[in-house]
Every structure is written in C-alpha cells, then in structure tokens.
Amino acid sequence: MMTLRLPRILSPGRLARTAAATVVLCILGGAGSAYAYWASTGIGAGSATNSTMQTVTVDALVPGDTLQTSLVPGGTADVIVRATNPNPQAVTIYGITSSGAATADAAHSGCTTTGVTFTPPPAPMASLTIQANSSILVTLQGAASMGTGSMSACQGAQFSIPVTLEVRK
C-alpha cells in the first residue's frame, strides 16, 4: 500500500515573518556593501613632471640629405627639412608655415629677386611625431615654386626658405 504525503503549508503568519526577515537581510546586506564601498580607502603612487620645452630646430638640406628635385623658372620643387627634437619626450609637428622671404646662397649675390615662394602643406596637415632626442627628414613635395620673373643671376643658386614648425608635446 502506498501512502501519499501532502506538502506542508505555511501559515499566513509564518509566511509574513519569513518574507519580512528576507527583506530585512537584503536591505542590511545592501547597506553594508554600500558603506564598505564609500568608506574604503586605498593607497598608491603616482608621478608627473612638467618642464620647459626646448626649441625644436629646423634645417634645410643639412649635409647627408639629398636634393630630389631642382627648381626652375615656372616650376616647382620639393622642400626637404630636417627637424631635430632635443627634448626628453616625443613632440608632434602640427603645422609648417613660411617665416620669411627666400634668399639665394652667397655665391649668387646678384640674385636679388629670386621669385621663389613657399607653399605650406594644407591645414590640418598629417601630424608627424619626432621621438625624444632625435631628428626626422620631412619632404614637402612641390612646396617651393619659382616665378618666371626670376633674375638670370639666380641660375644654379641654392635657396634658403625660412619655415616655422608648430610642435606640441
């Protein structure tokens, strides 16, 4: 013969007490966790430095650099600059602008009207990074142009084109 057991049913009073105890435990557990989160302290170390940035220098066609194109009246040529970063951190070049008139080398003193102009790269230019204590070559394709009104005394001259770099840490 088989006996059948019926499940035990909680009385309404006991059910209410069990539910209340469960709610109280959840509230206390949550409050304890929140207190622990806000009252905790931590330790650690951090550092930062601030220094004066040294001037990034710019030279055009330094020894060892090679000229890739020649400048002729009515034409354009590449401008090659070497940017040197003496800083202990990398810097990024954000812009290159003209900072004066182009001049001919000392051997061509009769070249007083060079007709040479500099066209900087369009803004915003692609940023270039110069690592700490190093230099890079930057070739600006077709950035120099020579007008057809240039003097004959400018034939064979090398031109200095002053430029300014905008750099940031």
Q: How many CB atoms lie within 10 A of CB 122?
A: 6
Q: What is the pLDDT of residues 47-56, one digit of tens each?
A: 556 678 888 8
Query: Is residue 22 situated within a structural domain?
Result: no
Residue in 83, 104, 103 with CA at minimum distance from that of residue 95: 83
User: Given this model, what pLDDT does residue 110 score?
Assistant: 94
pLDDT greater at residue 28 or residue 95: 95
How many structural domains comprise the chain?
1
The CATH number of residue 116's host domain is: 2.60.40
- The boundaries of the domain holding residue 93 are 57-168
Residue in 160, 166, 118 with CA at minimum distance from that of residue 140: 118
Query: Is residue 62 situated within a structural domain?
Result: yes
Q: What is the pTM of this model?
A: 0.62
Q: What is the pLDDT of residues 72-93, one digit of tens each?
A: 899 998 888 889 999 999 998 8
